[in-house]
Chains A and B, each alone.
Chain A
Amino acid sequence: MSEPKKDAACCACAAAPTLIFPCSGAADVGAIADQSARRLTRDGLGRMYCLAGIGGRVSGIVASTQAADRLLAIDGCPLECARHCLEQAGFSGFLHVRLSDLGLKKGQSPVSEANIGRVVAAASQMLAR
């Protein structure tokens, strides 16, 4: 088998990123989702992107999302707005973290290191698969 071409290793497409879309809602759980996505970005597990650009059908943002290797939605509450937002824009088959599945309830979950850590851990596990 021949060695891969150098050019192929330089192609940005091969490294198409994981884009992370937290709901970033107004409640405590929305803030935890938002902060978790920023933490995952800092940790190099993906890149937090702009869900508002999907909801607003901003062409460049929609196109970048279509080009991404994989997508992760993080929803703070059972309304699952991030998931619905992506689905209505035509995206499917993305990874999905629901804070309610992690025992985090709206209005009862302080935006603490511990709670952010729980979400980051769950998302990291999902992204590692």
Chain B
Amino acid sequence: MPFCLCAAVPGLVYACSGGMPLGELAAQVARWLDERGTARAACLAAVGAARTGPVTTCLAASRVMAIDGCDQDCARRCLERAGVKGIIHVRLTDLDLGEGSLRAQGRVGRVGEHCRRLLLAGARGAGVGMRPAG
């Protein structure tokens, strides 16, 4: 029986990678997850551009996570336009990143751990791990 790669890929993660600092944090977290084998970082722009191969891969993924830096939710909306359902969505402005968090040491790892827990739980939204902001 051929070895199935699907079982080895827990899911795909798409960061908004926006121009603001939290967009950069989203991109860093996606790479953090990729480097640890928790999820494979994939190209959101390819989905936004409706490139056939990347869209097919995305629709076939066991889990899809979108990490958005702000409440415009561009990554989520980009994926939804392509027909992706059941997106595990993380919005960084909803998380309690702490005082001066944009420069705080370890913020990528902290958010990364939060995302890892959500991915492993297969959760469909925030609420696991990090305390919401507010």
Contacts and interface: CB of A to CB of B under 8 A. Distances in A.
Interface of A: 20, 22-27, 30-31, 34, 37-38, 41, 47-58, 60-61, 79, 81-82, 84-85, 88
A79 B52 CA distance: 11
Interface size class of B (residues with CB under 8 A): 20 to 34
Main secondary structure of the interface of A (DSSP, over half): helix
Contact of B41 (A26, A56, A58, A61): A26
B45 A53 contact: no
A24 B45 contact: yes
Interface in B43-76: 43-51, 54, 72-76
A81 B43 contact: yes
Nearest to A26: B41
19 contacts: A22-B17, A24-B44, A24-B45, A26-B31, A34-B27, A50-B19, A52-B44, A52-B75, A55-B47, A55-B49, A55-B74, A56-B75, A56-B80, A79-B43, A79-B51, A81-B48, A85-B49, A88-B49, A88-B50
B110 interface: no
A123 B47 CA distance: 25
Contacts of B108: none
A54 B48 contact: yes
B37 to A, nearest CB: 14
B85 interface: no
B27 to A, nearest CB: 6
B15 to A, nearest CB: 8
Nearest to B53: A79
Contacts of B41: 26
